[in-house]
Amino acid sequence: MIEEGGGALRRFEPRPGAALRLFCFPHGGGGASAYADWAGALPPTVEPVAVQYPGREDRLGEPVPPDMDGLAGALADDIAPFTGRPYALFGHSMGATVAYEVAQRLRARGARPPAHLVASAREAPHDERGGDVHRGDDEDLRAELARLGATPPEVLRDPALRTMIFGYVRADYRIIETYRARPLPPLDCPVTMFLGDRDPDLAPAEALGWRRATRARAELRLFPGGHFYLVPQRAAVLAALRRILSGHGTR
Protein backbone atom coordinates (compact mmCIF):
# COMPACT_ATOMS: atom_id res chain seq x y z
CA MET A 1 0.00 0.00 0.00
CA ILE A 2 1.06 3.59 -0.59
CA GLU A 3 0.71 5.20 2.80
CA GLU A 4 -0.62 8.73 3.03
CA GLY A 5 1.66 10.79 5.25
CA GLY A 6 4.69 8.59 4.53
CA GLY A 7 7.35 9.39 1.97
CA ALA A 8 6.42 11.42 -1.11
CA LEU A 9 3.29 9.65 -2.36
CA ARG A 10 -0.26 10.81 -1.60
CA ARG A 11 -3.46 9.02 -2.65
CA PHE A 12 -6.51 11.21 -2.11
CA GLU A 13 -8.81 8.43 -3.35
CA PRO A 14 -7.13 5.00 -3.07
CA ARG A 15 -8.00 2.58 -5.86
CA PRO A 16 -6.05 -0.60 -5.09
CA GLY A 17 -7.65 -2.47 -8.00
CA ALA A 18 -6.89 0.14 -10.66
CA ALA A 19 -5.19 -1.03 -13.85
CA LEU A 20 -2.78 1.91 -13.96
CA ARG A 21 -1.30 4.44 -11.56
CA LEU A 22 -0.81 8.04 -12.63
CA PHE A 23 2.02 9.71 -10.70
CA CYS A 24 1.47 13.48 -10.73
CA PHE A 25 4.41 15.87 -10.17
CA PRO A 26 3.66 19.48 -9.13
CA HIS A 27 5.17 22.69 -10.47
CA GLY A 28 7.96 24.49 -8.63
CA GLY A 29 6.55 25.85 -5.38
CA GLY A 30 3.55 23.51 -5.69
CA GLY A 31 2.39 20.59 -3.63
CA ALA A 32 0.43 17.37 -3.88
CA SER A 33 -2.82 19.20 -3.10
CA ALA A 34 -2.80 20.57 -6.67
CA TYR A 35 -4.05 17.11 -7.73
CA ALA A 36 -6.43 16.46 -4.82
CA ASP A 37 -9.58 16.58 -6.96
CA TRP A 38 -8.35 14.70 -10.02
CA ALA A 39 -9.57 11.24 -9.04
CA GLY A 40 -13.23 12.11 -9.51
CA ALA A 41 -12.65 13.07 -13.13
CA LEU A 42 -10.60 9.97 -14.02
CA PRO A 43 -11.98 6.46 -14.64
CA PRO A 44 -11.89 3.99 -11.75
CA THR A 45 -9.27 2.04 -13.69
CA VAL A 46 -6.78 4.89 -13.05
CA GLU A 47 -5.39 5.66 -9.58
CA PRO A 48 -3.87 9.17 -9.40
CA VAL A 49 -0.97 9.34 -6.96
CA ALA A 50 0.23 12.86 -6.18
CA VAL A 51 3.91 13.46 -5.46
CA GLN A 52 4.72 15.63 -2.45
CA TYR A 53 8.10 17.37 -2.62
CA PRO A 54 9.82 18.01 0.73
CA GLY A 55 9.50 21.39 2.41
CA ARG A 56 5.78 22.11 1.95
CA GLU A 57 2.27 21.11 3.04
CA ASP A 58 2.52 17.96 5.19
CA ARG A 59 6.31 17.78 4.60
CA LEU A 60 6.95 21.37 5.67
CA GLY A 61 9.58 20.45 8.24
CA GLU A 62 11.73 18.50 5.77
CA PRO A 63 14.60 20.21 3.92
CA VAL A 64 14.32 20.63 0.16
CA PRO A 65 17.18 18.83 -1.62
CA PRO A 66 19.83 21.19 -3.02
CA ASP A 67 19.62 19.95 -6.60
CA MET A 68 17.72 17.80 -9.09
CA ASP A 69 19.87 14.78 -8.38
CA GLY A 70 18.83 14.80 -4.73
CA LEU A 71 15.15 15.41 -5.45
CA ALA A 72 14.70 12.95 -8.32
CA GLY A 73 16.77 10.30 -6.57
CA ALA A 74 14.65 10.45 -3.42
CA LEU A 75 11.41 10.38 -5.43
CA ALA A 76 12.60 7.40 -7.46
CA ASP A 77 13.27 5.59 -4.18
CA ASP A 78 9.65 6.11 -3.16
CA ILE A 79 8.10 5.28 -6.55
CA ALA A 80 10.23 2.26 -7.52
CA PRO A 81 8.37 -0.23 -5.27
CA PHE A 82 5.10 0.63 -7.07
CA THR A 83 6.19 0.11 -10.68
CA GLY A 84 5.16 -3.54 -10.86
CA ARG A 85 1.76 -2.37 -12.11
CA PRO A 86 1.51 -0.24 -15.29
CA TYR A 87 1.93 3.46 -14.56
CA ALA A 88 2.14 6.82 -16.28
CA LEU A 89 3.73 10.13 -15.31
CA PHE A 90 2.28 13.65 -15.45
CA GLY A 91 4.36 16.69 -14.56
CA HIS A 92 3.56 20.39 -14.78
CA SER A 93 6.32 22.97 -15.33
CA MET A 94 9.28 21.93 -13.12
CA GLY A 95 7.33 18.75 -12.45
CA ALA A 96 7.73 17.67 -16.09
CA THR A 97 11.51 17.75 -15.74
CA VAL A 98 11.34 15.97 -12.38
CA ALA A 99 9.13 13.26 -13.93
CA TYR A 100 11.63 12.78 -16.78
CA GLU A 101 14.53 12.47 -14.34
CA VAL A 102 12.60 9.99 -12.18
CA ALA A 103 11.84 7.92 -15.31
CA GLN A 104 15.53 7.83 -16.18
CA ARG A 105 16.45 6.69 -12.68
CA LEU A 106 13.77 4.00 -12.68
CA ARG A 107 15.10 2.67 -15.96
CA ALA A 108 18.63 2.55 -14.51
CA ARG A 109 17.24 0.32 -11.75
CA GLY A 110 15.62 -2.05 -14.23
CA ALA A 111 12.07 -1.02 -13.34
CA ARG A 112 9.12 -1.30 -15.71
CA PRO A 113 9.11 1.79 -17.98
CA PRO A 114 6.20 4.23 -17.77
CA ALA A 115 3.37 3.65 -20.23
CA HIS A 116 3.29 7.38 -20.99
CA LEU A 117 4.83 10.69 -19.93
CA VAL A 118 2.76 13.87 -20.12
CA ALA A 119 5.05 16.90 -19.95
CA SER A 120 3.14 20.11 -19.25
CA ALA A 121 4.39 23.68 -19.80
CA ARG A 122 8.10 22.88 -19.79
CA GLU A 123 10.87 22.79 -22.35
CA ALA A 124 12.59 19.46 -22.92
CA PRO A 125 15.36 18.58 -20.44
CA HIS A 126 18.15 19.08 -22.99
CA ASP A 127 16.73 22.55 -23.79
CA GLU A 128 16.65 23.85 -20.20
CA ARG A 129 17.68 27.51 -20.14
CA GLY A 130 18.69 27.88 -16.50
CA GLY A 131 18.06 31.16 -14.70
CA ASP A 132 18.83 33.26 -11.67
CA VAL A 133 15.47 33.97 -10.04
CA HIS A 134 16.61 31.95 -7.03
CA ARG A 135 19.49 34.41 -6.53
CA GLY A 136 17.24 37.49 -6.41
CA ASP A 137 15.62 39.15 -3.41
CA ASP A 138 12.05 38.69 -2.25
CA GLU A 139 10.72 41.38 -4.58
CA ASP A 140 12.27 39.59 -7.56
CA LEU A 141 10.60 36.37 -6.46
CA ARG A 142 7.27 38.10 -5.90
CA ALA A 143 7.44 39.61 -9.40
CA GLU A 144 8.15 36.21 -10.93
CA LEU A 145 5.18 34.59 -9.19
CA ALA A 146 2.96 37.46 -10.30
CA ARG A 147 4.19 37.16 -13.89
CA LEU A 148 3.25 33.49 -14.04
CA GLY A 149 0.05 33.85 -12.02
CA ALA A 150 1.28 31.14 -9.66
CA THR A 151 0.17 32.53 -6.29
CA PRO A 152 -2.81 34.73 -5.40
CA PRO A 153 -1.48 38.15 -4.26
CA GLU A 154 -3.53 38.07 -1.06
CA VAL A 155 -1.65 34.95 0.07
CA LEU A 156 1.62 36.88 0.05
CA ARG A 157 0.31 39.79 2.16
CA ASP A 158 0.81 37.83 5.38
CA PRO A 159 4.52 38.23 6.32
CA ALA A 160 4.88 34.86 8.05
CA LEU A 161 3.11 33.00 5.24
CA ARG A 162 5.13 34.86 2.64
CA THR A 163 8.41 33.93 4.34
CA MET A 164 7.40 30.26 4.47
CA ILE A 165 6.27 30.15 0.83
CA PHE A 166 9.29 32.05 -0.47
CA GLY A 167 11.56 29.58 1.31
CA TYR A 168 10.46 26.50 -0.63
CA VAL A 169 9.70 28.38 -3.85
CA ARG A 170 13.25 29.73 -3.92
CA ALA A 171 14.61 26.25 -3.20
CA ASP A 172 12.59 24.82 -6.12
CA TYR A 173 13.80 27.57 -8.45
CA ARG A 174 17.36 26.74 -7.44
CA ILE A 175 16.78 23.09 -8.36
CA ILE A 176 15.36 23.80 -11.81
CA GLU A 177 17.55 26.80 -12.67
CA THR A 178 20.79 24.93 -11.91
CA TYR A 179 19.63 21.71 -13.60
CA ARG A 180 21.48 20.41 -16.63
CA ALA A 181 20.33 17.20 -18.32
CA ARG A 182 22.74 14.29 -18.31
CA PRO A 183 23.70 12.70 -21.65
CA LEU A 184 21.37 9.70 -21.38
CA PRO A 185 19.52 7.66 -24.02
CA PRO A 186 15.98 8.81 -24.81
CA LEU A 187 13.06 7.28 -22.96
CA ASP A 188 11.13 4.39 -24.51
CA CYS A 189 7.62 5.62 -23.69
CA PRO A 190 5.38 7.97 -25.69
CA VAL A 191 5.45 11.62 -24.60
CA THR A 192 2.57 14.06 -24.93
CA MET A 193 3.30 17.74 -24.38
CA PHE A 194 0.53 19.88 -22.88
CA LEU A 195 0.89 23.65 -23.29
CA GLY A 196 -1.13 26.82 -22.88
CA ASP A 197 -1.29 28.72 -26.14
CA ARG A 198 -0.33 31.97 -24.36
CA ASP A 199 2.42 30.61 -22.12
CA PRO A 200 4.91 33.49 -21.69
CA ASP A 201 7.87 31.13 -21.33
CA LEU A 202 7.37 28.46 -23.98
CA ALA A 203 6.28 28.51 -27.62
CA PRO A 204 4.75 25.44 -29.29
CA ALA A 205 7.81 24.98 -31.52
CA GLU A 206 10.00 24.89 -28.41
CA ALA A 207 7.76 22.35 -26.68
CA LEU A 208 8.33 20.01 -29.61
CA GLY A 209 11.90 19.59 -28.35
CA TRP A 210 10.52 16.74 -26.25
CA ARG A 211 10.65 14.66 -29.43
CA ARG A 212 14.37 14.22 -28.73
CA ALA A 213 13.62 12.88 -25.24
CA THR A 214 11.93 9.67 -26.43
CA ARG A 215 12.33 6.93 -29.01
CA ALA A 216 8.54 6.59 -29.14
CA ARG A 217 5.99 9.02 -30.53
CA ALA A 218 5.72 12.58 -29.21
CA GLU A 219 2.66 14.78 -29.69
CA LEU A 220 1.71 18.32 -28.70
CA ARG A 221 -1.69 19.33 -27.29
CA LEU A 222 -2.51 23.03 -26.94
CA PHE A 223 -5.03 24.52 -24.48
CA PRO A 224 -6.28 28.09 -24.17
CA GLY A 225 -4.39 29.98 -21.48
CA GLY A 226 -1.05 30.87 -20.00
CA HIS A 227 1.50 28.99 -17.91
CA PHE A 228 -1.14 27.75 -15.48
CA TYR A 229 -3.70 26.96 -18.17
CA LEU A 230 -4.53 23.68 -16.41
CA VAL A 231 -6.44 25.50 -13.64
CA PRO A 232 -9.16 27.16 -15.80
CA GLN A 233 -8.92 24.34 -18.34
CA ARG A 234 -9.15 21.56 -15.75
CA ALA A 235 -12.03 19.74 -17.48
CA ALA A 236 -10.33 19.80 -20.88
CA VAL A 237 -6.98 18.70 -19.40
CA LEU A 238 -8.53 15.74 -17.61
CA ALA A 239 -10.54 14.78 -20.69
CA ALA A 240 -7.31 14.76 -22.70
CA LEU A 241 -5.65 12.64 -20.02
CA ARG A 242 -8.53 10.17 -20.10
CA ARG A 243 -8.07 9.77 -23.86
CA ILE A 244 -4.32 9.27 -23.52
CA LEU A 245 -4.64 6.71 -20.73
CA SER A 246 -7.44 4.85 -22.50
CA GLY A 247 -4.79 3.72 -24.96
CA HIS A 248 -3.14 1.85 -22.08
CA GLY A 249 -6.12 -0.30 -21.11
CA THR A 250 -7.89 2.06 -18.72
CA ARG A 251 -11.28 2.60 -20.39
Q: Is 93 a catalytic residue?
A: yes
Classify 64 as helix, strand or coil: coil
- Report d(CA 178, CA 170) in Å as an integer: 12
Classify 19 as helix, strand or coil: coil
72 φψ region: left (φ > 0), alpha (ψ -120 to 50), beta (else): alpha
Read off the amino acid at residue 8: A
- b/e per residue, 147-184, with b = 16+ CB within 10 A? ebebbeeeebeeeeebeebbebbbbbbbbbbebebeee
CA 238 to chain centre: 15
Catalytic sites, residue numbers: 93
